Amino acid sequence: MKHKKSKAKMSMTSKILIWMVAGLMIGSFINNFAADTPWVQDYLVFGLFHVVGAIFISMLKMLVVPLVTFSLICGVCGIGDISKLGRVGGKAFALFMLTTALAITLAIALATFFAPGQGFELATAATSTFTAPVAPPLSQVFINLIPSNPVAAYAEGNMLQIIFFTILFAVCILMIGEKGQPIIDMAERLNDVMMQVVNVVMHVAPIGVFALMAKTFSLQGIDIIVPMLGYFAVLVLALCLHMTGTLMILLKILGKVNPLTFLRKMRTAQIFAFSTSSSNATIPVTLTTAEKRLGIDNPTASFIVPFGATINMDGTAIMQGVATVFIANVYGIDLGLTGYLTVIMMAVLASIGTAGVPGVGLIMLAMVFNQVGLPVEGIALIIGVDRLLDMIRTAVNVTGDAAITTIVARSENSIDMDIFNDPEAGSIEDMHLPHAEKV
C-alpha cells in the first residue's frame, strides 16, 4: 500500500519535469522551423501557449498573498515569543546578506579570471539601445517598508509591506491574549484551505510549465547565445558553483544536514522558478517544499521563505558581478578594487529593495552601473540572453532562500530531521475530490 502511494507521489514531480522538457523541445522546434509560419505563431505561440502559460502564472500569483498572510499569522502566533521572532529574522537577514555577498564575490572572481568581453566587437553588437528603468533610492526602500495603506499593499502584492503589516498584526493578536485565540484558530483553518488550494494548482502544473517553456523557447532561439558565449558560460558556471558549492558547504557546516538530500527535494521548486522566472510566484511551492519536504516548522518557514523571495537574490547578484566585469571589459574600463567593492555592496543593498519578479535583475544592474560609472547602455548588449539567464538565476535564488531557511531552522531546532531525511516525505499527494455520495 505504502509502495503504491509513493509511486503515485513520485510521478507528479517527474511528470512536471517531462512536460518541461517537452515544452522546451517543442518551443525550440518551432523557433527553428516554424518561426515564420503564421498559424503556428497565432494559434500556438501567441494563442494556446500564451493563454495557458499566463493563466498558470496568474494561478500561482493568486496563491501568494493569502498563503503568505495566513501562514505568517499562524507562524508568528506559533512562535509566540517576540524575542525569538527577532532572533530568527536577524539570523535570516544576516545569512541572506552573507550569501549574496559570497555569490557576487565568486562571480567577480570567476569573471576576472576568464575575462569575458575582451575583444568583443562593440560596433556590431550594440545595435539595440537600452533605457535604464529607474531604481528606487535606498532611503525610499526603508520608507517603503511601512504600508501607509495595508489594503493597497495587499492589492499590489507588495511583499515587504505585507510581511511588515502581517507580523505587526499577528504580534498584536498575541498581545490581546485569550481574546485573540479565535482569530488564531481561524487563521489556522484558512491556512489549511490555502495549502489545499496549492495542492490543487500543483495538479495542473505540468500543463502550465509546458506552456511557459514552449512559448519562451519558441520566441527565444538558443543560437542567440553564440555571440555571447563567453558571458553566458561564465555566468552559468558561477551559478552552478554557488548552488552546488557555496550553498552546499553552508548547509553542511552551519546547517549540519545532508546537502544532497536538500538538493533532491528542491527539484520541484527549482523547476517552478525556472519556468516562471519569478521567486515571488514560486513562494507557494518553496513554502510547501520547506514545510512538507524539508520538515521545517510552519513558524520558521512562513516567515523566512517570503522574506527571502523578496530580499535574497544570490543568482541575480551573480549576474550583476559577471555583467559588470563583462561590460567593463567591452568598454575597456578598469574599475579597480574600489569599483568592485562598490559593486558588491550595491548588489547586496539593491537585492533588499527589489522584489523577486521576472527581469528585475536588469533594473538592479542599472543601479549598480550608475554607481560605479559604467555606461548603462551597455546593458543593451546582454539583454538578448537575459530571458534565459533569468530562468536559471531564479532557480538559484529560490534554492538560496530555502537553504537559509533550512540553516536557520536547524539552529533553532525547528526542523524535523525524520521528515528531512525521508525521501518520500511531502511529495505532492493524490487529490481527494469530494464525491456526491459523501455529501
C-beta atoms surrounding 184 within 10 Å: 17
Query: What is the closest distance, in whole angstroms, from the C-beta atom of residue 346 to ligand ASP in the complex?
Result: 15
Is residue 242 close enough to count as binding ligand ASP by CB under 6 A?
no
Binding track, positions 311-350, relative to ligand ASP; x by CB under 6 A: --x--x----------------------------------
User: For residues 16-55, which are near ligand ASP according to CB under 6 A?
Assistant: none
CB within 8 Å of 223: residues ≥ 6 apart: none
Binding of residue 385 to ligand ASP (CB under 6 A): no
* Among positions 308, 353, 356, 426, the unique one binding ligand ASP when judged by CB under 6 A: 356
Output 131 or 181, the one with its CB closest to ligand ASP: 131
From the CB of 70, what's the least distance to ligand ASP, in Å? Answer: 23
Taking CB under 6 A as the binding criterion, the range among 119-127, 154-162, 188-196, 351-359 that sits at the site for ligand ASP is: 351-359
Q: Does 295 bind ligand ASP (CB under 6 A)?
A: no
- When CB distances to ligand ASP are compared, the closest residue is 361
Residue 37 vs residues 10, 24, 270: alpha-carbon distances, Å: 38, 19, 33
Shorter beta-carbon distance to ligand ASP: residue 71 or 399: 399
Residue selected from 195, 325, 360, 407 as contacting ligand ASP according to rule CB under 6 A: 360
Binding of residue 79 to ligand ASP (CB under 6 A): no
Q: If binding means CB under 6 A, how many residues of this protein chain bind ligand ASP?
A: 15
Binding ligand ASP (rule: CB under 6 A), the pick from 216, 288, 394, 399 is 394
Q: Per rule CB under 6 A, is residue 397 in the interface with ligand ASP?
A: yes
C-beta of 401: minimal distance to ligand ASP in Å? 9
Least Å distance between CB 275 and ligand ASP? 12
Question: Between residues 117 and 356, which has the closer beta carbon with respect to ligand ASP?
Answer: 356
Alpha-carbon dihedral angle through residues 356, 407, 409, 259, given to the nearest 10 degrees = 100
Q: Kindly state whether residue 358 participates in binding ligand ASP, applying the rule CB under 6 A.
A: yes
Q: Does residue 308 touch ligand ASP according to CB under 6 A?
A: no
Only one of the segments 56-64, 123-131, 272-280, 422-430 lies at the binding site for ligand ASP (rule: CB under 6 A); that segment is 272-280
Position among 242, 292, 393, 410 found at the interface with ligand ASP (CB under 6 A): 393
Three state DSSP letters for the chain: CHHHHHHHHHHHHHHHHHHHHHHHHHHHHHHHHCCCCHHHHHHHHHHHHHHHHHHHHHHHHHHHHHHHHHHHHHHHHHHCCHHHHHHHHHHHHHHHHHHHHHHHHHHHHHHHHHCCCCCCCHHHHCCCCCCCCCCCCHHHHHHCCCCCCHHHHHHHCCHHHHHHHHHHHHHHHHHCHHHHHHHHHHHHHHHHHHHHHHHHHHCCHHHHHHHHHHHHHHHCCHHHHHHHHHHHHHHHHHHHHHHHHHHHHHHHHCCCCCHHHHHHHCHHHHHHHHHHCCHHHHHHHHHHHHHHHCCECHHHHHHHHHHHHHHCCHHHHHHHHHHHHHHHHHCCCCCHHHHHHHHHHHHHHHHHHCCCCCCHHHHHHHHHHHHHCCCHHHHHHHHHHHHHHHHHHHHHHHHHHHHHHHHHHHHCCCECHHHHHCCCCCCCCCCCCCCHHHC
CB of 20 to ligand ASP, least distance (A): 17
Distance in Å, CB of 354 to ligand ASP, minimum: 8
Cβ proximity to ligand ASP, 313 vs 415, nearer residue: 313
293 contacts ligand ASP (rule: CB under 6 A): no
Cβ closer to ligand ASP: 194 or 357? 357
Instruction: Identify which range of 5-13, 109-117, 216-224, 390-398 contacts ligand ASP by CB under 6 A.
Output: 390-398
| Beta carbon of residue 394, minimum distance to ligand ASP (angstroms, whole number) | 4
CB 148: neighbour CB atoms within 10 A? 9
Using the rule CB under 6 A, which residue among 220, 278, 288, 399 binds ligand ASP? Answer: 278
Contacting residues toward ligand ASP, per CB under 6 A: 277-279, 313, 316, 356-361, 390, 393-394, 397
